[in-house]
Amino acid sequence: TLVFAPLLFSCGYSAPQREAGSPAQVAAEPTSTSESTKSGDLNALGHGGYICLYKTTFPLPDQWKSFDELEKINEFGSKGSDIIKAIKTFTTSPTQNLDTYALLYQCHLYLKLTMPSEQFQSLILAMVAQESGGAGNVVGDGGLSSGLLQVQLQNKTEKPVTCDPDSCTQENIVAMLQQGVYGHSGATAAAEAPGIAYWLGQESTGPSLRFYNSGSLPDRADYSKLPDDKGTQSYVSDIGNRLSGVAHKGFPDEQWLQQMCGFQPAKKQPAKKQPAPQQ
Protein backbone atom coordinates (compact mmCIF):
# COMPACT_ATOMS: atom_id res chain seq x y z
CA THR A 1 0.00 0.00 0.00
CA LEU A 2 1.28 3.44 -0.91
CA VAL A 3 0.93 5.56 2.23
CA PHE A 4 0.99 9.33 2.51
CA ALA A 5 4.28 10.82 3.66
CA PRO A 6 5.45 14.44 3.60
CA LEU A 7 7.55 15.28 0.54
CA LEU A 8 9.87 18.13 1.48
CA PHE A 9 12.36 18.05 -1.35
CA SER A 10 12.92 16.84 -4.89
CA CYS A 11 14.59 13.44 -5.14
CA GLY A 12 16.79 14.71 -7.96
CA TYR A 13 18.68 16.95 -5.53
CA SER A 14 18.41 15.26 -2.17
CA ALA A 15 19.69 11.78 -2.91
CA PRO A 16 23.07 10.88 -1.40
CA GLN A 17 26.13 10.94 -3.64
CA ARG A 18 27.00 7.60 -5.24
CA GLU A 19 30.43 6.41 -6.29
CA ALA A 20 30.86 6.46 -10.04
CA GLY A 21 30.10 3.09 -11.61
CA SER A 22 28.50 1.74 -8.44
CA PRO A 23 24.73 1.33 -8.91
CA ALA A 24 22.87 2.33 -5.77
CA GLN A 25 20.64 -0.71 -5.72
CA VAL A 26 23.52 -3.16 -5.79
CA ALA A 27 25.88 -1.35 -3.47
CA ALA A 28 23.39 -0.40 -0.80
CA GLU A 29 21.62 -3.68 -0.04
CA PRO A 30 23.08 -4.73 3.34
CA THR A 31 22.76 -8.50 3.15
CA SER A 32 22.03 -10.95 0.38
CA THR A 33 19.85 -14.02 0.88
CA SER A 34 22.75 -16.37 0.21
CA GLU A 35 24.89 -14.69 2.87
CA SER A 36 22.07 -14.80 5.38
CA THR A 37 21.30 -18.44 4.70
CA LYS A 38 24.88 -19.37 5.56
CA SER A 39 24.63 -17.49 8.85
CA GLY A 40 21.46 -19.35 9.84
CA ASP A 41 19.23 -16.27 9.92
CA LEU A 42 16.61 -17.74 7.61
CA ASN A 43 14.02 -20.45 8.09
CA ALA A 44 13.93 -23.47 5.83
CA LEU A 45 12.13 -23.20 2.52
CA GLY A 46 8.37 -22.91 2.90
CA HIS A 47 5.37 -22.40 0.64
CA GLY A 48 6.60 -22.33 -2.95
CA GLY A 49 10.15 -21.82 -1.73
CA TYR A 50 9.33 -18.83 0.50
CA ILE A 51 12.19 -17.83 2.80
CA CYS A 52 11.56 -15.65 5.85
CA LEU A 53 13.71 -12.56 5.33
CA TYR A 54 14.62 -10.97 8.64
CA LYS A 55 16.28 -7.73 9.71
CA THR A 56 17.92 -6.07 6.67
CA THR A 57 18.07 -9.21 4.55
CA PHE A 58 16.95 -8.64 0.96
CA PRO A 59 18.05 -10.30 -2.29
CA LEU A 60 20.54 -8.33 -4.36
CA PRO A 61 19.33 -7.36 -7.86
CA ASP A 62 21.58 -9.93 -9.52
CA GLN A 63 19.64 -12.56 -7.54
CA TRP A 64 16.26 -11.41 -8.85
CA LYS A 65 14.44 -13.37 -11.52
CA SER A 66 14.29 -11.63 -14.87
CA PHE A 67 11.14 -9.82 -15.92
CA ASP A 68 10.35 -12.53 -18.46
CA GLU A 69 10.74 -15.22 -15.79
CA LEU A 70 8.49 -13.36 -13.37
CA GLU A 71 5.90 -12.89 -16.12
CA LYS A 72 5.75 -16.65 -16.66
CA ILE A 73 5.25 -17.57 -12.99
CA ASN A 74 2.66 -14.89 -12.18
CA GLU A 75 -0.84 -15.13 -13.61
CA PHE A 76 -2.86 -11.90 -13.67
CA GLY A 77 -6.11 -13.07 -15.24
CA SER A 78 -7.73 -11.76 -18.42
CA LYS A 79 -5.82 -8.47 -18.35
CA GLY A 80 -2.45 -10.01 -17.56
CA SER A 81 -0.94 -9.37 -20.98
CA ASP A 82 -2.10 -5.73 -20.86
CA ILE A 83 -0.49 -5.25 -17.44
CA ILE A 84 2.78 -6.75 -18.66
CA LYS A 85 2.75 -4.54 -21.75
CA ALA A 86 1.99 -1.45 -19.64
CA ILE A 87 4.84 -2.15 -17.21
CA LYS A 88 7.31 -2.58 -20.06
CA THR A 89 6.34 0.62 -21.88
CA PHE A 90 5.71 2.63 -18.73
CA THR A 91 9.16 2.02 -17.25
CA THR A 92 11.14 2.72 -20.43
CA SER A 93 9.47 5.85 -21.81
CA PRO A 94 7.96 9.09 -20.43
CA THR A 95 4.48 8.66 -19.00
CA GLN A 96 1.30 10.53 -19.80
CA ASN A 97 0.48 13.91 -18.27
CA LEU A 98 3.87 14.48 -16.68
CA ASP A 99 3.01 18.17 -16.40
CA THR A 100 0.88 17.23 -13.38
CA TYR A 101 3.85 15.39 -11.89
CA ALA A 102 6.42 18.15 -12.38
CA LEU A 103 8.23 17.50 -9.10
CA LEU A 104 8.26 13.75 -9.58
CA TYR A 105 9.63 13.76 -13.11
CA GLN A 106 13.09 14.31 -11.64
CA CYS A 107 12.64 11.07 -9.72
CA HIS A 108 12.11 9.27 -13.02
CA LEU A 109 15.30 10.72 -14.49
CA TYR A 110 17.33 10.00 -11.37
CA LEU A 111 16.00 6.48 -11.08
CA LYS A 112 17.11 5.63 -14.60
CA LEU A 113 20.68 6.37 -13.53
CA THR A 114 20.61 4.04 -10.52
CA MET A 115 18.54 1.01 -11.57
CA PRO A 116 18.49 -0.71 -14.97
CA SER A 117 15.07 -0.67 -16.59
CA GLU A 118 14.61 -4.46 -16.51
CA GLN A 119 15.28 -4.58 -12.76
CA PHE A 120 12.81 -1.75 -12.29
CA GLN A 121 10.24 -3.65 -14.36
CA SER A 122 10.76 -6.76 -12.23
CA LEU A 123 10.26 -4.75 -9.06
CA ILE A 124 7.01 -3.18 -10.30
CA LEU A 125 5.71 -6.57 -11.43
CA ALA A 126 6.47 -8.05 -8.00
CA MET A 127 4.71 -5.12 -6.32
CA VAL A 128 1.60 -5.54 -8.50
CA ALA A 129 1.50 -9.23 -7.56
CA GLN A 130 1.82 -8.31 -3.87
CA GLU A 131 -0.61 -5.41 -3.80
CA SER A 132 -3.49 -6.59 -5.98
CA GLY A 133 -2.67 -9.80 -7.80
CA GLY A 134 -3.30 -7.84 -10.99
CA ALA A 135 -6.92 -6.90 -10.20
CA GLY A 136 -7.60 -3.23 -10.87
CA ASN A 137 -10.69 -3.05 -8.65
CA VAL A 138 -9.26 -4.40 -5.40
CA VAL A 139 -9.88 -2.11 -2.41
CA GLY A 140 -8.00 -2.61 0.87
CA ASP A 141 -7.18 -0.96 4.18
CA GLY A 142 -10.83 -0.46 5.01
CA GLY A 143 -11.49 1.24 1.69
CA LEU A 144 -8.48 3.59 1.77
CA SER A 145 -6.30 1.81 -0.81
CA SER A 146 -7.19 0.85 -4.36
CA GLY A 147 -5.92 -0.20 -7.77
CA LEU A 148 -3.04 -2.32 -9.05
CA LEU A 149 -0.55 -0.80 -6.60
CA GLN A 150 -3.07 -0.03 -3.83
CA VAL A 151 -2.53 3.72 -3.83
CA GLN A 152 -3.91 5.80 -1.01
CA LEU A 153 -4.89 9.46 -1.16
CA GLN A 154 -5.58 11.20 2.13
CA ASN A 155 -6.20 14.76 0.98
CA LYS A 156 -8.53 13.72 -1.85
CA THR A 157 -7.03 16.22 -4.30
CA GLU A 158 -6.68 13.51 -6.90
CA LYS A 159 -8.83 10.41 -7.23
CA PRO A 160 -7.07 7.04 -7.34
CA VAL A 161 -7.69 5.15 -10.56
CA THR A 162 -9.58 1.85 -10.43
CA CYS A 163 -11.34 -0.26 -13.02
CA ASP A 164 -13.22 -3.52 -13.34
CA PRO A 165 -10.82 -6.25 -14.54
CA ASP A 166 -13.03 -7.10 -17.52
CA SER A 167 -13.23 -3.50 -18.74
CA CYS A 168 -9.81 -2.06 -17.81
CA THR A 169 -8.33 -0.08 -20.67
CA GLN A 170 -4.62 0.33 -21.30
CA GLU A 171 -5.05 3.95 -20.24
CA ASN A 172 -6.54 2.81 -16.90
CA ILE A 173 -3.66 0.43 -16.30
CA VAL A 174 -0.97 3.01 -17.13
CA ALA A 175 -2.70 5.58 -14.89
CA MET A 176 -2.71 3.13 -11.95
CA LEU A 177 0.97 2.41 -12.46
CA GLN A 178 1.72 6.12 -12.72
CA GLN A 179 0.04 6.85 -9.39
CA GLY A 180 1.91 4.05 -7.61
CA VAL A 181 5.32 4.60 -9.17
CA TYR A 182 5.55 8.39 -9.48
CA GLY A 183 3.07 9.31 -6.76
CA HIS A 184 0.08 11.63 -6.63
CA SER A 185 0.04 15.32 -7.35
CA GLY A 186 -1.82 17.74 -5.13
CA ALA A 187 -3.54 20.99 -6.00
CA THR A 188 -0.22 22.76 -6.63
CA ALA A 189 1.39 19.83 -8.51
CA ALA A 190 3.54 19.02 -5.48
CA ALA A 191 3.45 15.39 -4.44
CA GLU A 192 0.72 14.44 -2.01
CA ALA A 193 2.16 10.96 -1.58
CA PRO A 194 5.47 9.98 -3.20
CA GLY A 195 5.59 6.75 -5.18
CA ILE A 196 8.19 4.00 -5.15
CA ALA A 197 10.37 5.89 -7.67
CA TYR A 198 10.82 8.71 -5.17
CA TRP A 199 12.01 6.38 -2.42
CA LEU A 200 14.34 4.53 -4.79
CA GLY A 201 16.03 7.87 -5.42
CA GLN A 202 16.84 8.02 -1.70
CA GLU A 203 17.26 4.45 -0.53
CA SER A 204 18.13 0.92 -1.54
CA THR A 205 15.27 -1.43 -2.40
CA GLY A 206 14.47 -2.86 1.04
CA PRO A 207 14.08 0.49 2.86
CA SER A 208 12.22 1.94 -0.16
CA LEU A 209 9.60 -0.80 0.10
CA ARG A 210 9.11 -0.16 3.81
CA PHE A 211 8.61 3.55 3.10
CA TYR A 212 6.12 2.72 0.34
CA ASN A 213 4.13 0.33 2.50
CA SER A 214 3.95 2.25 5.75
CA GLY A 215 5.20 5.80 5.08
CA SER A 216 8.35 5.67 7.20
CA LEU A 217 11.30 3.49 8.23
CA PRO A 218 11.26 3.30 12.04
CA ASP A 219 14.25 0.94 12.35
CA ARG A 220 17.07 0.77 9.79
CA ALA A 221 18.26 -2.45 11.40
CA ASP A 222 14.94 -4.22 10.82
CA TYR A 223 12.76 -3.64 7.76
CA SER A 224 9.85 -5.53 9.34
CA LYS A 225 9.37 -2.94 12.09
CA LEU A 226 6.23 -0.85 11.59
CA PRO A 227 5.39 2.74 12.62
CA ASP A 228 2.47 2.47 15.04
CA ASP A 229 1.53 -0.94 13.57
CA LYS A 230 0.75 0.74 10.23
CA GLY A 231 1.52 -1.45 7.24
CA THR A 232 2.34 -5.10 6.62
CA GLN A 233 5.17 -6.57 8.67
CA SER A 234 6.10 -9.15 6.04
CA TYR A 235 5.93 -6.67 3.13
CA VAL A 236 9.66 -6.33 2.41
CA SER A 237 10.18 -10.07 2.87
CA ASP A 238 7.21 -10.80 0.59
CA ILE A 239 8.51 -8.61 -2.24
CA GLY A 240 11.99 -10.11 -1.87
CA ASN A 241 10.52 -13.58 -2.24
CA ARG A 242 8.44 -12.60 -5.25
CA LEU A 243 11.56 -11.17 -6.91
CA SER A 244 13.34 -14.44 -6.13
CA GLY A 245 10.68 -16.43 -7.96
CA VAL A 246 7.94 -17.37 -5.49
CA ALA A 247 4.77 -17.39 -7.60
CA HIS A 248 1.63 -15.41 -6.80
CA LYS A 249 -0.47 -18.57 -7.02
CA GLY A 250 0.10 -20.49 -3.79
CA PHE A 251 1.89 -17.59 -2.07
CA PRO A 252 1.86 -18.04 1.74
CA ASP A 253 -1.11 -16.56 3.59
CA GLU A 254 -0.95 -14.48 6.76
CA GLN A 255 -1.46 -17.52 9.01
CA TRP A 256 1.52 -19.35 7.49
CA LEU A 257 3.70 -16.23 7.66
CA GLN A 258 2.84 -15.76 11.33
CA GLN A 259 3.41 -19.39 12.25
CA MET A 260 6.58 -19.97 10.25
CA CYS A 261 8.22 -16.54 10.21
CA GLY A 262 6.70 -14.71 13.17
CA PHE A 263 5.31 -11.92 10.98
CA GLN A 264 2.13 -10.56 12.55
CA PRO A 265 -0.92 -10.10 10.27
CA ALA A 266 -1.55 -6.56 9.10
CA LYS A 267 -4.00 -4.67 11.28
CA LYS A 268 -6.48 -3.77 8.58
CA GLN A 269 -9.81 -4.87 7.23
CA PRO A 270 -9.76 -7.57 4.53
CA ALA A 271 -9.57 -6.24 1.00
CA LYS A 272 -12.91 -5.93 -0.73
CA LYS A 273 -14.09 -5.09 -4.22
CA GLN A 274 -16.21 -2.19 -5.35
CA PRO A 275 -17.77 -1.22 -8.70
CA ALA A 276 -15.58 0.74 -11.04
CA PRO A 277 -16.13 4.52 -10.76
CA GLN A 278 -18.16 6.32 -13.38
CA GLN A 279 -15.98 7.61 -16.19
pLDDT on residue 136: 82
Mean pLDDT in residue range 66-87: 86
pLDDT on residue 56: 97
Residues in the chain: 279
Q: Is the pLDDT of residue 135 over 70?
A: yes
Angle at 209 between CA 203 and CA 211, to 5 degrees: 75
What is the three-class DSSP state of 233?
coil
E-strand spans in 117-175?
Answer: 138-140, 145-146, 151-152
Q: Is the pLDDT of residue 17 over 70?
A: no
Look up the pTM and report it: 0.78
What is the three-class DSSP state of 151?
strand
Task: Assess contact for 173 and 79: CB atoms under 8 A.
Answer: yes
Distance (Å) of CA 232 to CA 2, 98, 104, 272? 11, 30, 26, 17
Mean pLDDT in residue range 68-79: 84
pLDDT on residue 146: 73
pLDDT on residue 147: 81
Q: Is the pLDDT of residue 187 over 50?
A: no
pLDDT tens-digit readout, 211-261: 999 989 999 999 999 998 889 999 999 999 999 999 988 899 999 999 999
pLDDT on residue 50: 94
Task: Read off the amino acid at residue 205.
Answer: T
The one-character DSSP state at 49 is G
- 178 confidence band (pLDDT: 50, 70, 90): confident
Task: Assess contact for 155 and 186: CB atoms under 8 A.
Answer: yes
Mean pLDDT in residue range 155-160: 66
Nearest to 124 by CA among 196, 186, 191: 196
pLDDT on residue 104: 53
Distance (Å) of CA 107 to CA 2, 49, 115? 16, 34, 12
The rounded percent of the chain whose pLDDT value lies above 90 is 32
Nearest to 16 by CA among 98, 134, 114: 114
